[in-house]
Chains A and B, each alone.
Chain A
Amino acid sequence: MALQLFSKKPVEPKVRPRPRPRLAEPDAFIPADRIELQADPLHQAMQLERYAYLIINRSEFKEHPDVDKLCLQACERIDDSFALVPEGFATIPRTLHDSPGAEEDTFETTPFLLGKHCVTNAQYQKFVEAGGYEQLELWPKELWPHLIDFKDLTECPGPRYWRHGRPSKKLMDHPVVGVCQFEAAAYARWAGFRLPTEAEWQMAATWRIRSVANTMRRYPWGDALDINRCNIWATGQGRTVPVDEYQPGAAPNGVLQLIGNVWEWTASDFEVTDHTGGPVVGDMHMATIRGGAYDTYFQMQATSVFRTGLVSLARAHNVGFRLAWNLRGN
């Protein structure tokens, strides 16, 4: 019998086909339509919702026949989309664990206007398409080397989770996320507004107005958590929702979603100490974010007074921002 060592068929590995994971299919990304920008700079400013910019720079357009009409319209739009936050107080703890008797600072806040909603993808798209990422005057000089990193998933300038410089068509009225504090501030500057300070944000959420009662709210709607009034982890949405949802969770002046949906960048640095007085720092500079997000697990971390920080260059999936404006312009 002939030796058949080398005439044997090679052994076929007994491999079962790999079962496909039963994971939810991600939503198909349908990009938003491109914006056709109007040629006339005044009308373009209105189209891009640069209302405060238009009002502040009115004199630049004084020869334009429509300037009065459009400035009036811009004022009306600000009236509609912003709410007055009266003067008041914000008491902010200096330590990480806000235990009774811990050191804290009390800030007086002057009246200001605060956006009723967070800035949406639709609004931010206008900034991107108008070339906001290329206008160096909107960005601090020390940040210019980082501008090249502010790309979307397809390497185009824009928020972290966009594609080809455009948001998902399905998320146009959701808050823009995937932007760092500098991108938020650049948008605000471009539109003529600014980011609220931490004290202003807290004042708006706690509604600690100057009054005899000297009360402050744990939530914008009152003192008890109600998951029907905000989008946090316990609510079960598991994702962002449009900025005009959860109307019952509005602050007394109509500002929505201060709690939940997305954390909000403020203009303030995050400075805090531990119980020994030692500083708590991040890998890089940190800014304060407030309000909690749709994935905030601990309810105590989604209140009007809970403060936390995030590296200001972080472009997180759950952090957005809203605008503020001084009553007499910025």
Chain B
Amino acid sequence: MARNSSVLSETKCLICGHDNEPDMLLCASCYAPMSIVQDARAQEREPKIVSVIGESNVGKTVYLGFLLDMLAHRAGAFEAIPKGAYSVDLQQNVIGHLARRSFPPKTPMEANQWYWAYYQVRREEADAPWVDLVMPDMAGESLAAEVSTPKTFRVIHSLLNKSKGLLLLVDAAAAANGSNQPDFFAMKMLSYVDSMFGGKHEEKIETPVSIVLCKADYCPECFDDPRSFVKANLNRVWNLCESRFANVEFFAASVVGSLGYATSLEDDTVAPVPLHTALRGVLEPFEWIIDQL
């Protein structure tokens, strides 16, 4: 980890490296908040990026929001400190919506409207080192667009290129229902990462990847044995991981305890309603990633 403040230029974006004007709030190139740079400068070290990725509607925002909120509650083996008020916005948005039994709105495709979280995290042990983490809430559509046409979204390309760990969220409920879509999307995502990090194919990629089976309350067998579930229901991903990734682990997670559907009498739309929350498996994939860093 760089400890020299000179490497952290006042205007150089930490994500894409673009040299910005001093008064910019967002990077002119990738729209990452420049406050991350200022906070990193104050720490005199460059933060590590952990990316939560997955297709649209898989639950990245909800997962990340609850993860940050649980860290703020010191729920697991870690303590966490948000750097800057902007880091709290995501969890506040998610918690506010779920407490009112609604889902947060979809993350916009435009990077300048994303939530970014910058946290300092460490194990609650004496002398445990602090790890500075930047975790953006990326839009699933933007990820899909970048994966199919690399460098369309420069910020995503830069983020994933700099990521020290990846949490790949997969819709386990859809996979259990026989849909191939989660398998294909996850495969595309890993293939993209492979092409980005992978040089010679003799070497596997060392970047730790947590594959998180989301919405696992719909298929409790995910919790019994996530590995077997992936092998059986997401076999393409399983094989790709076996071939190309040296450091992969599989997890199951769920946030919503029960889902209802509200049919509005005003406009005839049907909206999913999270009737209550029941958190399972949210912290474990994150803790595993941090231990690998």
Measured CB to CB, the residues of A under 8 A from B are 11-16, 18-19, 21-23, 96-97, 153, 160, 233-234, 236, 263, 272, 274, 276-283, 286, 289, 292-293, 295-298, 300-301, 306, 308-311, 314-318
Contact = CB atoms under 8 A, between A and B. Distances in A.
B279 A297 contact: yes
B12 interface: no
A295 to B, nearest CB: 5
Nearest to B272: A280
A73 B86 CA distance: 65
A281 B275 CA distance: 10
Query: What interface size band does chain B fall in?
Result: 35 or more
A300 B101 CA distance: 11
Interface in B197-222: 202-204, 206, 217, 220
A274 B264 contact: yes
Contacts of A310: 257-258, 275
Contacts of A306: 276
Given A277-B265, A281-B261, A318 B98 contact: no
A286 B263 CA distance: 16
B106 interface: no
Contact of B284 (A23, A153, A281): A23
The SS class assigned to the A binding surface is loop
Contacts, number: 116
B249 interface: yes
B291 interface: yes
Contacts of B206: 16
B101 A96 contact: yes
Contact of A296 (B261, B265, B277): B277
Nearest to A13: B202
5 contacts: A281-B263, A296-B257, A296-B277, A298-B276, A309-B260
Contacts of A263: 257
A296 B75 CA distance: 13
A295 B261 CA distance: 23
Contacts of A318: 257, 278
